[in-house]
Amino acid sequence: MKKIENANIFIQNGLGLEEFMNKVIETNQDLKIINSSIEVTNTIKNNENINPHIWTSLENYIKQVETISKELCKYNSENSTLYTSNCEKYIAALNELKTNYDIQLSNLNMQKVICLDEALVYLADSINMEVTYIETNHEESTLSADTMKNIIEKMKQENIKLIFIGEENNLNNAQTLANETGAQIVKLDSALSGENSKNSYLDAMTKNLEILKKIGE
């Protein structure tokens, strides 16, 4: 909030991810807001609520980048040429990465996976995996014994042998499921945290690609 006091433009993910937005708008009425999710239509619902972690789908993220560039050009027109040029270069790199995902991960199409991190649901869905999302508290092991029993039964009945979890998440639930079913735990980068550099997202998603390519080895 301290940083926002001196900002002219605030770029948000949208879809309710930034729960503090009402406070931001109330205290900074002249602040221009760019909602990066407004052109994203490929959304996934969890219990009728939209999962806002849209960026782990490369297709969605590309739309977010395009929206941000377009809005920056409108609000800061004197730098529009630079924004447009940078956007084109960045999207070219993103499209190349997306092509690699499509080609190199085709073996994962329709494979079933238990996802213990809602940010990774879009990633799994984007490579056409059949996702079962289990809502958890990432800081603690909070799944009840009955819930764990039901998940284990489902995994055995449907022969689900993959568990996706964020690399920063608590491993307890995933480890219990893996021990009971023989499933493989796959730790992926949700791109929620890490270094704030211009290549952070590309680095995270490239790392995920390399991890996903090794599934089953």
pLDDT of residue 105: 97
pLDDT of residue 17: 94
Can you read off the two tokens belonging to residue 29? 């009425």
Region of 110 (left: φ > 0; alpha: ψ -120 to 50; beta: rest) is left
Q: How far apart are CA 101 and CA 209, in angstroms?
A: 7
Phi first, then psi: what are they for 109, rounded to 5°?
-55, 125
In eight-state DSSP terms, residue 65 is: H
- Residue (of 68, 81, 88, 64) closest to 10 by Cα position: 68
Q: Fold identical between 4-104 and 106-213?
A: yes
> Pairing state of beta strands 32-35 and 9-12?
parallel
Q: How far apart are CA 83 and CA 79, in angstroms?
A: 6
- Residue (of 108, 99, 105, 164) closest to 138 by Cα position: 164
Domain 4-104 has CATH 3.30.43.10: no
- Residue (of 182, 200, 199, 181) closest to 190 by Cα position: 200
- What's the pTM? 0.93
Can you read off the two tokens belonging to residue 61? 């993220």
pLDDT of residue 140: 57
Q: How far apart are CA 137 and CA 170, in angstroms?
A: 9
CATH number for the domain formed by residue range(s) 106-213: 3.40.50.1980
Residues 36-85: tens digit of each pLDDT: 999 999 999 987 889 999 999 999 999 999 999 999 999 999 999 999 99
Q: Which helix (H) or strand (E) holds 163?
A: strand 162-166
Question: Alpha carbon 112 to chain centroid distance?
Answer: 18
Q: How far apart are CA 87 and CA 79, in angstroms?
A: 12
For the chain, the structural domain boundaries read: 4-104, 106-213
| Averaged pLDDT, groups of 10, the chain, 217 residues long | 88 94 88 96 90 98 98 97 98 98 96 96 97 78 86 97 94 95 97 89 98 88
pLDDT of residue 99: 98
